[in-house]
A and B are shown apart, each in its own frame.
Chain A
Amino acid sequence: KNEVEQSPQNLTAQEGEFITINCSYSVGISALHWLQQHPGGGIVSLFMLSSGKKKHGRLIATINIQEKHSSLHITASHPRDSAVYICAVPGNQFYFGTGTSLTVIP
């Protein structure tokens, strides 16, 4: 049983394309986290959101609490956005999606 489902698992895009990664969850939550991991690298937190929308530069995260769904959008994608994007929801511990591996081709 997966509390968190992400889609797609893999995504290849041309530089400049608009990208959307989806996350659905089954548990009640106070907030949802989006994380980024570059190849061979550590894991960093991009967003923590509990309602509505947040924006950092070209990254936008939205959440619909009623539908238990969140999306991460990347506008004007760039090769440096190539990474694995992971959504996570908290309980007494954290539940993670298996990640979306994004490759942006120049």
Chain B
Amino acid sequence: NAGVTQTPKFQVLKTGQSMTLQCAQDMNHNSMYWYRQDPGMGLRLIYYSASEGTTDKGEVPNGYNVSRLNKREFSLRLESAAPSQTSVYFCASSETLAGGANTGELFFGEGSRLTVL
């Protein structure tokens, strides 16, 4: 059982480069999320998608774009990376009822450690 798979696990970028973090889940969940985790800051929501075809900004969306390609996949793109985007990124998914209330367990990918020089 794969659960939530995200790639790459590690990436080093130079300032101004672009990259896409990929995430896929095989649990048929409606909701998917991208978080960043920084020391002392906890998990902060970048973007989320409550269903295929919809995306919404979270707490820290600036500098990022997302795409919910289909029900399984939710990608995060950095168009022009900045050192402030050095972080560990987690993708997650959960089940939701119609209307958006989360009812199920929250599953995380293993994380992607990004360093921007």
A residues at B contact (CB < 8 Å)? 30-31, 33, 35, 41-45, 48, 86, 88, 90-94, 96-99
Establish whether residues B106 and A35, one from each chain, have CB atoms under 8 Å apart when the complex forms. yes
Q: Determine the chain A residues whose CB is within 8 A of the CB of B109 once the complex forms.
A: 42
Q: Does B52 contact A (CB under 8 A)?
A: no
Establish whether residues A31 and B42, one from each chain, have CB atoms under 8 Å apart when the complex forms. no
- Count of A-B residue pairs with CB < 8 Å: 59
Among A31, A33, A42, A43, residue most surrounded by chain B Cβ atoms (within 10 Å): A43
Shortest beta-carbon distance from B64 to chain A in Å = 16
- Take A42-B111, A98-B42 as given contacts and tell me if A92 and B101 are in contact as well, using a CB distance cutoff of 8 Å: yes
Q: List 22 A-B contacts (CB under 8 A).
A: A30-B101, A30-B102, A33-B106, A35-B106, A41-B110, A41-B111, A42-B90, A42-B110, A43-B90, A43-B111, A45-B106, A48-B104, A86-B43, A88-B106, A90-B101, A90-B102, A93-B45, A93-B102, A94-B45, A94-B94, A97-B42, A98-B41
- Name the interface size band of chain B: 20 to 34
Q: Mark B28-65, 1 if CB is under 8 A from A, else 0.
A: 00000100000011110100101000000010000000
- Take A42-B109, A93-B33 as given contacts and tell me if A86 and B103 are in contact as well, using a CB distance cutoff of 8 Å: no
Shortest beta-carbon distance from A36 to chain B in Å = 11
- In the complex, besides A30-B103, A42-B111, A92-B100, 5 extra interface pairs with C-beta distance below 8 angstroms are A43-B108, A45-B107, A48-B105, A86-B43, A99-B42
A91 to B56, CA, bound (A): 14
Smallest Cβ-Cβ distance to A90: which chain B residue: B102
Q: Determine the chain A residues whose CB is within 8 A of the CB of B43 once the complex forms.
A: 86, 96
Establish whether residues A92 and B105, one from each chain, have CB atoms under 8 Å apart when the complex forms. no
B residues at A contact (CB < 8 Å)? 33, 40-43, 45, 48, 50, 58, 90, 92, 94, 100-111
Establish whether residues B42 and A90, one from each chain, have CB atoms under 8 Å apart when the complex forms. no
Establish whether residues A33 and B105, one from each chain, have CB atoms under 8 Å apart when the complex forms. yes
A33 to B106, CA, bound (A): 8
Q: Determine the chain A residues whose CB is within 8 A of the CB of B107 once the complex forms.
A: 45
Q: Determine the chain B residues whose CB is within 8 A of the CB of A48 once the complex forms.
A: 104-106
